[in-house]
């Protein structure tokens, strides 16, 4: 539980720093014999900062709960 909590804390901090990921998706539009037509689309995956904060808080709660069980 402690390892998962630490992972969630790190993930939440990274989500607060990097608020979106941009990537390019290539799709096949048509294929006519040896001729292939592809289309590249630029896409973005974004999330709000409060999502990262929430994930970090869940990680902190998991670490604290693990410490209580150990005591």
The pLDDT tens digits of the residues spanning 10-57 come to: 999 999 999 999 999 999 999 998 999 999 999 999 999 999 999 999
Instruction: Name the burial class of residue 68, with classes exposed (0-12), middle (13-18) and buried (19+) by CB atoms within 10 angstroms of its CB.
Output: exposed
pTM: 0.75
The pair of structure tokens assigned to 68 is 């209580």
User: Residue 70: its pLDDT value, please?
Assistant: 67
22-59 burial code (b ≥16 CB/10 A, e <16):
eeeeeeeeeeeeeeeeeeeeeeeeeeeeeebeebbebb
User: Residue 46: its pLDDT value, please?
Assistant: 96
Can you tell me the distance from the alpha carbon of 23 to that of 15, in angstroms, rounded to the nearest whole number?
17
């Amino acid at each position: 539980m402690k390892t998962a909590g630490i992972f969630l804390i790190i993930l939440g901090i990274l989500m607060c720093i990097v608020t979106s990921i941009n990537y390019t998706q290539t799709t096949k539009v048509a294929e006519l014999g040896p001729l292939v037509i592809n289309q590249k689309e630029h896409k973005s995956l974004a999330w709000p900062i409060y999502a990262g904060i929430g994930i970090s808080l869940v990680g902190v709660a998991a670490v604290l709960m693990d410490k209580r069980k150990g005591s």
